[in-house]
Structure formats: structure tokens, C-alpha cells
Amino acid sequence: MTGATFIIYVKAKLNRLDTAHYEDVRDEEVLLFGNEALKDLTLSFDSGLFSPKVDARALQVYLDSLVDDIDETNCTANKAASPAEVLKLKDIEAFVTIGDESGWMPAISRSNDLVSHRQDNPFEKSYPDRPNYRVLDGEIVFDTDGSFAITKFRGKKLIMPAEFDASTTLSYPFMEELENKTVTLLLENLESRRIETQPVVSKM
């Protein structure tokens, strides 16, 4: 299937829902949301969330093609620049120094929510044998309480899948899922635009 055929399939699914409202969807919109859907699905598949209809072996080959090693990277003040083209960091290890001892420890990814309370939560606190890290403003930041330091890290990264256009040949083992996800993203966008253009009184 080419990108152009993908556009036709997505538009057909939209028109099956409501031709009058979705007949003016542009090809560029389908491609834009198709590429967003590809990123979203890649993240979901990497987390183990996929339909039994998807060939698990072919899907693993696809995911393996997007995994790249992160070489040892030095940290300054417990942080370092995040590698480029990262969709998701994987298997991150931090080189922990505490007193006269040091060694590689598996690091745990944390969201940026409720950071001020994290050090008070024993289940989410950053420890030398399982340091936490967050991605902030293009940097990997390791949380420490001052009793230990992170001097470098290594691991793997899931890179961004290559964007496709109308001339690209698409051979993903999850084409139906990609079409459906694209339709969902398009519908969400179209509905939100429709609400924004309604008179204020009709939104109440």
C-alpha cells in the first residue's frame, strides 16, 4: 500500500461515518494525523499493547528496527542532554557514586508530575540502587537527595519512525490499526474545531 492509497482508505472510513461532515478532509491532514498515529501506536506496541490480530513476530521485527544503543554519556550535576530523535528511552542505567563506592544501576523513568512530593514517597523516592530520571527541556535529569551522584548513563532508545507521505510504500504489520488510529485522531481534531467555532452560548 502506498501513502496515497492509505489516504483513500482513511477518507473512506471517515465518509462511512458521515459523508456530509468529513468529505472536505484534505490529504495533508490525513498524512499529518497518520504520522501522529504511527508514533502513538509505536509507543503502545513497545509497551505490549496490541491486538491479537497483529502478527506479533512481524511487529517485533518492526520495533527492533527502531531500537538504537545510547553510548555512555557523561552527566554534569546529575543531568545530561537527551539523545536526539528519541521517541522513548529504554533500559537506562546510571553510574551511581556514593562515598567510595560506584557502579551501574538500573534507572527508573518518572513523570514530571508531583515532583515536590516524590522524595517523601518511599515507593517513588530516588535511591542509589534505583535512581529516578525525568526528561525535562531536552535533558535527562536524575533525581538525587545529595547523598549520591550520577556521573554518566547508558541504555537504549526507541527512535522516531520515519514519516511517510503519499509516495511512500507502507508495509507495516498493523495497517488496519494505523488506519483506525488515524481516523480517531482526525475525528477528535475535527470535533474540537467544530466546538471552537460554535457560538459561546451553545457551548454552555
**What average pLDDT score do residues 99-114 get?**
88
Domain ranges in the chain are: 3-63+162-198, 71-159
Buried b (16+ CB within 10 A) or exposed e, 92-115: bbbbbeeeeeeeebebeebeeeee
Give me the pLDDT at residue 114, please: 52
In angstroms, rounded to a whole number, what is the distance separating the alpha carbons of residues 168 and 92?
Answer: 33
The pLDDT of residue 52 is above 50: yes
Helix (H) or strand (E) segment spanning residue 63: helix 56-64
The pLDDT score that the predictor gives to residue 203 is 40
Sequence letter at residue 117:
H
Q: Looking up cell 545530561, which residue turns up?
A: 80
Percent of the chain with pLDDT over 70: 88
Q: In this predicted model, what pLDDT tens digit does every residue of 29-51 receive, in sequence order?
A: 999 999 999 999 999 999 999 88
From residue 181, alpha-carbon distances to 21, 25, 41, 88, 199 in Å are 19, 16, 8, 20, 30
Taking the C-alpha atoms of residue 105 and residue 127, their distance in angstroms, rounded to an integer, is: 10
Model confidence, pTM: 0.84
Q: Mean pLDDT score of the chain, rounded to an integer?
A: 89
Per-residue pLDDT of 130-157, as tens digits, reads: 999 999 989 999 999 889 999 999 999 9
Residue 23's φ and ψ, nearest 5 degrees, are -70, -15
pLDDT value at position 202?
40
pLDDT above 50: residue 200? no
More confident residue, 77 or 204: 77
